[in-house]
Protein backbone atom coordinates (compact mmCIF):
# COMPACT_ATOMS: atom_id res chain seq x y z
CA UNK A 1 0.00 0.00 0.00
CA UNK A 2 1.99 2.95 -1.32
CA UNK A 3 0.12 6.19 -0.92
CA UNK A 4 0.76 9.79 -1.90
CA UNK A 5 -1.23 12.57 -0.21
CA UNK A 6 -2.04 15.58 -2.38
CA UNK A 7 -3.70 18.82 -1.38
CA UNK A 8 -3.06 22.45 -0.48
CA UNK A 9 -1.04 23.40 2.58
CA UNK A 10 -3.47 23.05 5.48
CA UNK A 11 -5.85 20.69 3.63
CA UNK A 12 -5.36 18.08 6.33
CA UNK A 13 -2.82 15.81 4.65
CA UNK A 14 -0.66 15.42 7.73
CA UNK A 15 -3.65 14.86 10.03
CA UNK A 16 -5.03 12.11 7.80
CA UNK A 17 -1.64 10.59 7.00
CA UNK A 18 -0.92 10.11 10.71
CA UNK A 19 -4.22 8.26 11.19
CA UNK A 20 -3.76 6.09 8.10
CA UNK A 21 -0.23 5.23 9.21
CA UNK A 22 -1.53 4.17 12.61
CA UNK A 23 -4.47 2.17 11.31
CA UNK A 24 -2.56 0.28 8.62
CA UNK A 25 0.80 0.05 10.39
CA UNK A 26 2.82 1.76 7.66
CA UNK A 27 5.29 4.65 8.05
CA UNK A 28 4.17 8.26 7.62
CA UNK A 29 6.88 10.03 5.64
CA UNK A 30 6.56 13.82 5.72
CA UNK A 31 9.25 15.82 3.95
CA UNK A 32 8.18 18.90 5.94
CA UNK A 33 8.77 16.97 9.19
CA UNK A 34 12.15 15.74 7.92
CA UNK A 35 13.22 19.32 7.15
CA UNK A 36 11.95 20.61 10.50
CA UNK A 37 13.78 17.81 12.32
CA UNK A 38 17.01 18.79 10.54
CA UNK A 39 16.40 22.45 11.28
CA UNK A 40 15.92 21.74 14.99
CA UNK A 41 19.11 19.70 15.07
CA UNK A 42 21.09 22.34 13.18
CA UNK A 43 22.23 20.06 10.35
CA UNK A 44 23.59 21.40 7.04
CA UNK A 45 20.39 20.24 5.33
CA UNK A 46 18.29 22.04 7.94
CA UNK A 47 20.19 25.30 7.45
CA UNK A 48 19.79 25.15 3.68
CA UNK A 49 16.11 24.21 3.84
CA UNK A 50 15.24 26.98 6.32
CA UNK A 51 16.03 29.69 3.78
CA UNK A 52 13.26 28.40 1.53
CA UNK A 53 10.78 27.32 4.17
CA UNK A 54 10.78 30.74 5.84
CA UNK A 55 9.79 32.31 2.54
CA UNK A 56 7.12 29.71 1.79
CA UNK A 57 9.06 28.48 -1.23
CA UNK A 58 9.89 24.92 -2.17
CA UNK A 59 13.22 23.53 -1.05
CA UNK A 60 15.17 22.65 -4.25
CA UNK A 61 14.62 19.18 -5.69
CA UNK A 62 18.35 18.33 -5.32
CA UNK A 63 17.94 18.56 -1.55
CA UNK A 64 14.59 16.80 -1.42
CA UNK A 65 14.41 13.91 -3.87
CA UNK A 66 17.32 11.83 -2.63
CA UNK A 67 16.10 11.94 0.96
CA UNK A 68 12.80 10.43 -0.12
CA UNK A 69 14.44 7.84 -2.39
CA UNK A 70 16.57 6.68 0.56
CA UNK A 71 13.66 6.59 2.96
CA UNK A 72 11.14 4.63 0.87
CA UNK A 73 13.46 1.66 0.42
CA UNK A 74 14.13 1.18 4.12
CA UNK A 75 12.98 -2.09 5.68
CA UNK A 76 9.93 -0.63 7.42
CA UNK A 77 8.56 0.47 4.02
CA UNK A 78 8.25 -3.09 2.69
CA UNK A 79 4.47 -3.19 3.38
CA UNK A 80 3.98 0.32 2.04
CA UNK A 81 4.09 3.90 3.27
CA UNK A 82 2.29 7.16 3.09
CA UNK A 83 4.07 10.13 1.54
CA UNK A 84 2.87 13.48 2.90
CA UNK A 85 4.22 16.61 1.19
CA UNK A 86 6.11 14.77 -1.54
CA UNK A 87 5.98 15.01 -4.50
CA UNK A 88 5.39 18.78 -4.58
CA UNK A 89 5.96 19.44 -8.29
CA UNK A 90 6.01 17.51 -11.57
CA UNK A 91 9.78 16.87 -11.58
CA UNK A 92 9.52 15.33 -8.10
CA UNK A 93 6.55 13.26 -9.29
CA UNK A 94 8.51 11.97 -12.27
CA UNK A 95 11.54 11.30 -10.09
CA UNK A 96 9.41 9.21 -7.74
CA UNK A 97 7.85 7.27 -10.60
CA UNK A 98 11.33 6.58 -12.01
CA UNK A 99 12.91 5.29 -8.80
CA UNK A 100 9.86 3.11 -8.15
CA UNK A 101 9.77 1.78 -11.69
CA UNK A 102 13.44 0.77 -11.41
CA UNK A 103 12.50 -1.28 -8.35
CA UNK A 104 9.46 -2.73 -10.15
CA UNK A 105 7.11 -0.81 -7.84
CA UNK A 106 4.45 1.87 -8.16
CA UNK A 107 2.24 4.25 -6.21
CA UNK A 108 -1.14 2.59 -5.55
CA UNK A 109 -3.17 5.62 -4.47
CA UNK A 110 -2.77 9.37 -4.82
CA UNK A 111 -5.35 10.88 -2.49
CA UNK A 112 -6.25 14.48 -3.18
CA UNK A 113 -7.73 16.19 -0.12
CA UNK A 114 -9.75 19.03 -1.59
CA UNK A 115 -10.21 22.23 0.43
CA UNK A 116 -10.90 25.64 -1.16
CA UNK A 117 -8.42 28.48 -0.53
CA UNK A 118 -10.97 30.43 1.54
CA UNK A 119 -10.92 27.73 4.23
CA UNK A 120 -7.15 27.35 4.25
CA UNK A 121 -6.14 30.62 5.90
CA UNK A 122 -8.45 29.95 8.88
CA UNK A 123 -7.09 26.46 9.28
CA UNK A 124 -3.51 27.64 9.19
CA UNK A 125 -3.93 30.45 11.69
CA UNK A 126 -5.37 27.96 14.20
CA UNK A 127 -2.84 25.21 13.53
CA UNK A 128 -0.61 24.23 16.44
CA UNK A 129 2.15 21.65 16.21
CA UNK A 130 4.14 19.57 18.64
CA UNK A 131 7.85 20.31 18.14
CA UNK A 132 8.71 16.98 19.75
CA UNK A 133 6.50 14.32 18.11
CA UNK A 134 5.05 16.24 15.15
CA UNK A 135 1.38 15.83 16.17
CA UNK A 136 -0.89 18.54 14.76
CA UNK A 137 -3.89 20.27 16.36
CA UNK A 138 -6.25 23.13 15.66
CA UNK A 139 -7.25 25.52 18.44
CA UNK A 140 -10.94 25.32 17.46
CA UNK A 141 -11.46 22.30 15.15
CA UNK A 142 -9.16 19.73 16.74
CA UNK A 143 -8.05 21.04 20.14
CA UNK A 144 -5.71 19.09 22.42
CA UNK A 145 -7.26 17.76 25.64
CA UNK A 146 -5.25 20.27 27.68
CA UNK A 147 -4.86 23.70 26.08
CA UNK A 148 -1.43 24.23 24.52
CA UNK A 149 -0.12 20.75 25.44
CA UNK A 150 0.43 17.74 23.14
CA UNK A 151 -1.92 14.82 23.98
CA UNK A 152 0.65 12.28 22.89
CA UNK A 153 3.83 13.43 24.58
CA UNK A 154 2.99 16.35 26.90
CA UNK A 155 5.21 18.87 25.11
CA UNK A 156 4.15 22.52 24.80
CA UNK A 157 2.60 23.19 21.37
CA UNK A 158 3.93 25.88 19.05
CA UNK A 159 2.74 27.84 16.04
CA UNK A 160 4.89 27.17 12.98
CA UNK A 161 6.83 30.24 11.77
CA UNK A 162 5.61 29.63 8.21
CA UNK A 163 1.94 29.60 9.28
CA UNK A 164 1.67 33.38 9.46
CA UNK A 165 -0.80 34.88 6.96
CA UNK A 166 1.70 36.33 4.41
CA UNK A 167 3.67 33.10 4.19
CA UNK A 168 0.48 31.07 3.87
CA UNK A 169 -0.54 33.20 0.89
CA UNK A 170 2.81 32.56 -0.76
CA UNK A 171 2.55 28.83 -0.06
CA UNK A 172 -0.92 28.75 -1.64
CA UNK A 173 0.49 30.41 -4.78
CA UNK A 174 3.29 27.85 -4.88
CA UNK A 175 0.70 25.12 -4.44
CA UNK A 176 -1.39 26.27 -7.40
CA UNK A 177 1.63 26.81 -9.67
CA UNK A 178 3.81 23.84 -8.83
CA UNK A 179 1.85 21.19 -6.93
CA UNK A 180 -1.67 21.20 -8.37
CA UNK A 181 -0.49 19.88 -11.79
CA UNK A 182 0.30 16.61 -9.99
CA UNK A 183 -3.44 15.97 -9.75
CA UNK A 184 -3.60 15.47 -13.51
CA UNK A 185 -0.31 13.61 -13.46
CA UNK A 186 -1.70 10.98 -11.07
CA UNK A 187 -5.05 10.95 -12.86
CA UNK A 188 -3.20 9.90 -16.00
CA UNK A 189 -1.41 7.19 -14.05
CA UNK A 190 -4.88 5.96 -13.03
CA UNK A 191 -4.38 6.16 -9.27
CA UNK A 192 -6.01 9.48 -8.37
CA UNK A 193 -8.74 9.49 -5.69
CA UNK A 194 -10.44 12.62 -4.42
CA UNK A 195 -11.93 13.30 -0.99
CA UNK A 196 -13.85 16.30 0.30
CA UNK A 197 -11.46 17.76 2.87
CA UNK A 198 -13.94 20.33 4.18
CA UNK A 199 -15.76 17.59 6.13
CA UNK A 200 -14.98 16.94 9.80
CA UNK A 201 -11.73 15.03 10.36
CA UNK A 202 -13.43 11.69 11.09
CA UNK A 203 -15.57 11.83 7.94
CA UNK A 204 -12.54 12.57 5.76
CA UNK A 205 -10.80 9.61 7.40
CA UNK A 206 -13.74 7.28 6.72
CA UNK A 207 -13.79 8.30 3.05
CA UNK A 208 -10.08 7.58 2.75
CA UNK A 209 -10.40 4.18 4.44
CA UNK A 210 -13.19 3.24 2.02
CA UNK A 211 -10.95 4.10 -0.91
CA UNK A 212 -8.03 2.08 0.48
CA UNK A 213 -10.19 -0.95 1.27
CA UNK A 214 -12.14 -1.00 -1.98
Site string for ligand ADP, 84-113 (x = CB under 6 A): -xx-x---x---------------------
Number of residues that bind ligand ADP (CB under 6 A): 35
Q: Of 26 and 83, which CB lies nearer to ligand ADP in the complex structure?
A: 83
Point out which span in 73-81, 83-91, 146-154, 185-193 binds ligand ADP (CB under 6 A).
83-91
Measure the CA angle with vertex 158, ends 157 and 160; round to 5°. 140
Binds Zn ion by CB under 5 A, chosen from 17, 83, 110, 135 = 135
Please spell the DSSP secondary structure of 97-146, one letter per residue. HHHHHHTT----EEEEEE--HHHHHHHHHTEEE-TTT--EEETTTB--SS
* Closest to 6 in 3D by CA, of 187, 214, 127: 187
Q: Is 132 in the site for Zn ion (CB under 5 A)?
A: yes
Q: Which residues contact 193 (CB under 8 A, 6 or more apart)?
A: 109, 110, 111, 112, 211
Please give the residue ranges that form the binding site for Zn ion (CB under 5 A).
130, 132-133, 135, 150, 152-153, 155
Please give the residue ranges that form the binding site for ligand ADP (CB under 6 A).
7, 9-15, 31-32, 35, 52-53, 56-59, 64, 85-86, 88, 92, 123, 126-127, 136-138, 141-142, 162, 171, 200-201, 204
Amino acid sequence: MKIVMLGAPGAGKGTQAARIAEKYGIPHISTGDIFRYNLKNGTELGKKAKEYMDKGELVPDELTCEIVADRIFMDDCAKGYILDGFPRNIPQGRYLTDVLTKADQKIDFAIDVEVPDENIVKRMSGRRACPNCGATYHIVNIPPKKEGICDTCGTELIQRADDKAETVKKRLDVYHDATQPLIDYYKELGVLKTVDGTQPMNDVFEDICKILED
